[in-house]
Amino acid sequence: MPDALVQIRDLHKSFGDNHVLRGIDFEVEQGEVVCVIGPSGSGKSTLLRCVNLLEEPTSGTVLVAGEDLTDPDCDIDAARRHIGMVFQSFNLFPHHTALTNCMLAQQTVLKRGKKEARAVAQENLDRVGLTDKHDAYPAKLSGGQQQRVAIARALSMAPNLMLFDEPTSALDPELVGEVLTVMRKLAEEGMTMLVVTHEMAFAREVADRVVFMDGGVIVEQGAPADVIGSPKEPRTKEFLRRVLDPTHVTPS
Amino acid sequence: MSTPTDSAPTRRPLSPRKRAQRIRAVQYTVLVLLVAAAVFFADWPQIQDVFFRPDLVEKTITSGLGHALFNTIVYTLGAFVFGIVVGTVLAIMRLSQIGPYRWIATVYIEFFRGLPALIVFLVFTLLPLAFPGMRIPWDPYGTVWLALGIVGSAYLAETIRGGIQAVPKGQVEAARSLGMTSGQAMRKVVLPQAFRTMLPPLTNELILLVKDSSLVYIIGLSKEHYELTKFGRELANQNVNVTPLVVAGIAYLIITLPLSMLVRRLEANAGKAR
């Protein structure tokens, strides 16, 4: 059996006195879609940001495609080329159009020519359903459209792993669907995805595996039907009850 | 009117509208009186003779005002370019991870911001005397660009640092997550955005530099290197009349007023774009 695409071993991360990740062991197979759920402050975004080293782990190792990113001699910029990331707040470059947002890193990082970069960018914008918005600036796009441009921008680098950090949390409710649809399509095409999300329906339907985190550790993981459908751990039950039925929560 | 208050001289309070009308009337009256006094009592022919003597206006314009204006612009722009380049380097040093870079930049900025520009100019006039072998290239332009640029860069550095810090952190994260190095992220993503927000304050600094370029007058210059102030002052001294300085002053306004209007427009646009 080939090694998993992402292998995380005994990962710890502290911000000062705040011990956010307390020993995470965790793998993502090639082609797998993993959703990470959990209460805010549980460390799930930090875990995701450790995978492309936007956050430097305090200890432990992060291997992506067999390469140890926590090795001080690792060329992290080269490794990040193959790891796409989509942020909660989109983080599009406001001084670039949708098209040039998708071209910039291709040209500066992959050294692709303008023509090739443009063709790849166009293809990926079409892929996320923005055929008619190529020349629009981010300020002229809705949140859902901006997030789809952000996905196209990451895809333009031909990543073999996509990280999603609460991609729909900043969106108006009626715009969530268009982004989730694009992500679902990506999953069906076989993209390896690690998704931090609060969208339980998406996790249940699209994920191959759901990971529940609380207090900086993985509490429970498994098939979505098990973790979301019939959780074993009391903390998972309590969290899901609060998320799935928020009108009947008794303040503790 | 047979009310009981009839005989008593009590005044009814004015309505707010009437009160406002009266206050306005008083304000206009004062203004009219002041203008009238100025018109009647000032010695207009004398004033015109000192400040706006037509033959001297003409003489000032024809005897090299254009060239002096050109020199002022050259001095200012050279210093501005120098200041932007050095200021950007200083700003990046101030944001550096490496302590000594931060300290050096901070000391430079605080030192030259706290010093009168005049003193820097005086030092530069003495330097070639103090170091006999020393020559600053493109003299006197190089000297002026250096002196004015050193002072300007200290101010510009703070403006540029503010602009860089105003770019949201997520922009750098997005750039780095795409595989850009920190240098590429700075050049391709942060600086272009920073310069856009900095454009109004940078234009303000340019206006200040235009005015500071007048300090050149204390450097010994040959005639073809005169800028507006020195040029106006020489003519004013020769003719014992203020008119050439007034004309030079108006020439400054020809540069600075459009820049002020540009700043206002940029600020309005920046408000819309965000």
Tokens coding B226: 């005169």
Contacts B171 to A, Cβ<8 Å:
91, 93
Query: Rounded mean pLDDT of A5-16?
Result: 94
Task: Select the residue of B176, B181, B184 nearest A54 (Cβ to Cβ).
Answer: B176
Lowest mean pLDDT among A34-48, A219-233, B217-231: B217-231
- Between B243-273 and B44-51, two packed helices, what is the crossing angle to 10 degrees? 80
Stretch among A219-223, A246-250, B103-107 having the lowest mean pLDDT = A246-250
Query: Reduced to 3 states, what is the DSSP secondary structure of residue A14?
Result: strand
Range of lowest pLDDT (A99-103, A106-110, B170-174, B233-237): B233-237
Q: What is the ipTM of this complex?
A: 0.93
Q: Tell me the residues of B at the A interface, defined by beta carbons under 8 Å apart.
A: 168, 170-171, 173-181, 184, 188-189, 192-193, 196, 273
Q: What is the pLDDT of residue A252?
A: 60
Predicted pLDDT at B8: 56
Average pLDDT over residues A36-60: 94
Overall average pLDDT of the A146-164 stretch: 96
Q: Which residues of B touch A150 (CB under 8 A)?
A: 174
> What pLDDT, on a 0 to 100 scale, did the predictor assign at position B124?
84
pLDDT band at A1 (very low <50, low <70, confident <90, very high): very low
Contact A180, A4 (CB under 8 A): no
Least Cα distance to A252 among A219, A19, A241 occurs for A241
The whole-angstrom distance between A174's CA and the closest CA on chain B is 24
pLDDT, tens digit, for every residue of A54-64?
Answer: 999 999 999 99
Contact A85/B171, CB-based, under 8 Å?
Answer: no
Specify the pLDDT at position A233: 93
Residue ranges in chain B modelled with pLDDT below 70: 1-9, 270-274
A158 touches B: beta carbon within 8 Å: no
At residue A133 the predicted structure's pLDDT band, cuts being 50, 70 and 90, is very high
Q: Do A78 and B179 touch (CB under 8 A)?
A: yes
pTM: 0.80
Closest CB from A77, A87, A157 relative to B174: A87
Q: In terms of CA atoms, which chain B residue is nearest residue A77?
A: B179
- pLDDT at res. B274: 46
pLDDT confidence of residue B4: 52
Q: Supply the pLDDT for residue B172.
A: 96
Q: Which of A54, A110, A139 sits opposite B177 (nearest CB)?
A: A54
Chain B residue with CA closest to A87: the answer is: B174
Chain A nearest CA to B26, separation (Å): 51
pLDDT of residue B107: 96
Residue A75: predicted pLDDT: 94
Convert the pLDDT of each residue in B168-223 to its tens digit. Answer: 999 999 999 999 999 999 999 999 999 888 988 999 999 999 999 998 888 877 88
Chain B residue with CA closest to A95: the answer is B193
Expressed in angstroms, the distance from the first to the final Cα of chain B is 65
- Please tell me the predicted confidence (pLDDT) of residue A248: 81
Q: What is the pLDDT of residue B222?
A: 80
Is the pLDDT confidence value at A250 over 80?
no
Give the closest of A87, A153, A154 to B170, CB-based: A87
Contacts of A144 (CB under 8 A, 6+ apart): A171, A172, A175, A176, A178, A179
88-127 in A: which are within 8 Å (CB) of B? Answer: 89, 91-95, 104-105, 108-110
